[in-house]
Structure 1
Amino acid sequence: MEGAAIARKQIRSVAYVITSFGLKLVILGLMKCYLSRVSALLFSILLANNLRAQVKPNNYTDYHVHLQDSATVQLGYRMMKAFHLKATKMDSLCFDADTIIKRLDKAKFYSAWIISNAYWFGSPVTPVENEYEEVKKQNDWIAAQAARDLDRLKAFMSVNPLKPYAIGEIERCAATKRFAGLKLHFANSKVNLFDKAQVKQLQKVFAVVNKYNLLLLVHFRNGQKWDGIANTEILLKQILPFAGNTKVVIAHMAGWGGYDRQTDKALALIAAYLHSGKTPHLYLDISAVFPLGSDKDPVKPIKGRVTWHPLIALKKQIEKIGTDHIVFGTDWPLTDIDTYIKMLNKSLGKQTTQQILNTRVVAN
């Protein structure tokens, strides 16, 4: 008893001159001296859990990242020329796993979904020789990059889903167990959802993704003249059911950069679909949605219609959808993490941005 009293006195004295972390360690040491081994063990467990909670790093993910090897850079120049776009310095650079790890560390992010550019090599916009061989090379390259840090980098194969080799390539990649998911780009692949044969092919692609328990990232919008309602109805009713329990992420908040009325119409249907309870496995990423301007900078109103503000409209759709179904992405190298977070904080508010950063999508 006397020893216990002395120990309590020592604890009170030390408490005034050490940090809370140090205090816990001192208490643990004293308890091991004067209390039973069982009590000390229980206290150790509680302390360890507490310390893990204190030092746990930000487990944030950039869910939309592109890497570039030399072949992608060369094809990229051809593609920009075809679309009458001017190349920038970033378009001439190669980005590998080391580049991505460095930018994750700088932003205090933990992981990234890194996307193969193989679908570029299957695009009708820029035909290439030995197309399928080049597609395989790109998918294998992205898997090799992810292998340099499998815990932090998740490889996504890609393919033009309309190609005759599409199913075979997905199965080839899936069999290696080196890929977390598949990326589809409807615009680059010239997908037309009003073509019944193409819809049937997409149904097969979604089904094989589900078969191999892969994640699916889809650039859904396929053109400037695009009916948000009609296209989204086909996706939700005719294609998405074939994904089964696959977790599907629709890129760019169902658009392809910026935010317009057709994207807003698509999001309204997606919000209603999510709230119908038909699938809990549908998400959106907010990559490449900004800049939008301010709430006081509306799109020029059409005669006889109410003035439409893109930012106000987007905020309303985010509220309907819920941030638990929206993930963060940059579409690197389009923008970087810190820059985009600042933009989101300014436009959506820090609370909404933080909630989006906290949303997770992992394989089943």
Structure 2
Amino acid sequence: MIIDFHTHIFPPEIIENRSKYIRDQKWFSRLYGNRNARMASARGLVEEMDRCGVDKAVACGFAWNDFDLYVRTNDYIADAVSRYPDRLIGFGNIPPLHPRALDELERCADMGLRGIGELKPMGQGFDLDDTGGLAPFAEAAASRGLSLLIHISEPVGRQYAGKGYTSPGKAYRFARRFPDLKLVYAHWGGGLVFYELMPDVHEELANVYYDCSANPYLYDSRIFTLVMEMPVRKKVLFASDYPLLRLDDCLDEVADAGLGDQLYQELMGGNAAALLGGPA
């Protein structure tokens, strides 16, 4: 089974009125102001999954300026899961410090969503080092069994739209503060995954998983053979960041890495199923 742990979907009316949201939504404009940046509805995602042979996908929301857009998008994701229950796994999105954040988190859990993400600290006005301010949200997520999928950035390398400032160090400290919270750090955790070669760090980050989303844009494909030989291998999740990246490109990159069958199965779906509590 292949599970893509990091995709984004939008309600059709947002896709159709893209220009309005480019004008009104700062973070959306950064990523989707370029007309070549692809967007997808739930139906479009499932059609692409069918084309590429992907069984299931985590469908995420987006970081908006307007709280009502979070609510609308969360409703859309919950509805999409109800329409494609065997294909989509819903993650809502919520700005963690908003006054209505805890109520919306409870509502997302009640609608059957499995996590919150992709959270973008820079785009949503919070810092992972603000563990005091984030504690109510993190503890509520842990108590409801919701995973948090968080955008983490590489502290070196080129700048690009949406990179942000959330470094591996911030991600490390946040995970240590909330050991009962299941965390998925996007984009290899900005490189935090490599620090799990340190035995003490590996032990401290038992609650952390890493997705490989946007890898063709970020790292040499040899990263798969390197990481899947590390102790962290059962915490690595296949992910594309579709539709910003092409799903087939991400799949081809892993296929070309030459992983053995067991490691391939773990990366492509087994680890995700274990995180989600059995068959997703």
Q: TM-score range by the shorter chain?
A: 0.7 to 0.9
Three-state SS of the structure 1 residue aligned to 2:250 is: helix
CA contact (8 A) 2:120 2:150 kept: yes
Q: How many residues align?
A: 260
In structure 1, distance between residues paired with 2:28 and 2:244? 18
Three-state SS of the structure 2 residue aligned to 1:62 is: strand
Give 2:252's aligned residue: 342
**Which deviations, in whole Å up to 9, do the C-alpha atoms of 1:167-213 show, x marking residues without a partner?**
1210122223x21111122232133244xxx3212222121111111
Superposed, which structure 2 residues align to 1:226-265 within 5 Å?
226=165, 228=167, 230-238=169-177, 240-241=178-179, 244=180, 246-255=181-190, 263=191
**Letter paired with 2:175:** L
In structure 2, distance between residues paired with 1:286 and 1:173? 25
Structure 1 unmatched runs, 5+: 1-58, 123-130, 256-262, 295-310
* Aligned-residue RMSD, C-alpha: 3.1
Give 1:180's aligned residue: 114
Change in 2 beyond 3 A, CA 1:336/1:350: farther
**Letter paired with 1:249:** V
**Letter paired with 1:349:** G
Change in 2 beyond 3 A, CA 1:349/1:155: same
CA contact (8 A) 1:66 1:114 kept: yes
Give 2:21's aligned residue: 75
Higher relative contact order, structure no. (Cα contacts within 8 Å, ≥ 6 residues apart): 2
| Larger gyration radius, structure 1 or structure 2 | 1
CA contact (8 A) 2:150 2:186 kept: yes
- Give TM-score, length-normalised by structure 1: 0.62
**Would you say 1:209 and 2:209 are equivalent positions?**
no
**Would you say 1:109 and 2:54 are equivalent positions?**
yes
Give 1:121's aligned residue: 64
Structure 2 unmatched runs, 5+: 156-162
- From the two aligned structures, give the one with the greater helix fraction: 1
Give 1:139's aligned residue: 74
How far apart are 1:336 and its partner, in Å?
Answer: 2.7
Pick one of 261, 264, 285 that aligns with 2:211: 285
**Which deviations, in whole Å up to 9, do the C-alpha atoms of 1:113-165 show, x marking residues without a partner?**
10122xx223xxxxxxxx33222111111111111011211111101112222
Change in 2 beyond 3 A, CA 1:226/1:214: closer
How far apart are 1:283 and its partner, in Å?
Answer: 1.1
Give 2:34's aligned residue: 87
- Give TM-score, length-normalised by structure 2: 0.78
CA contact (8 A) 1:232 1:269 kept: no
How far apart are 1:65 and its partner, in Å?
Answer: 0.8
Identity among equivalent positions (%) equals 20
Change in 2 beyond 3 A, CA 1:165/1:356: same
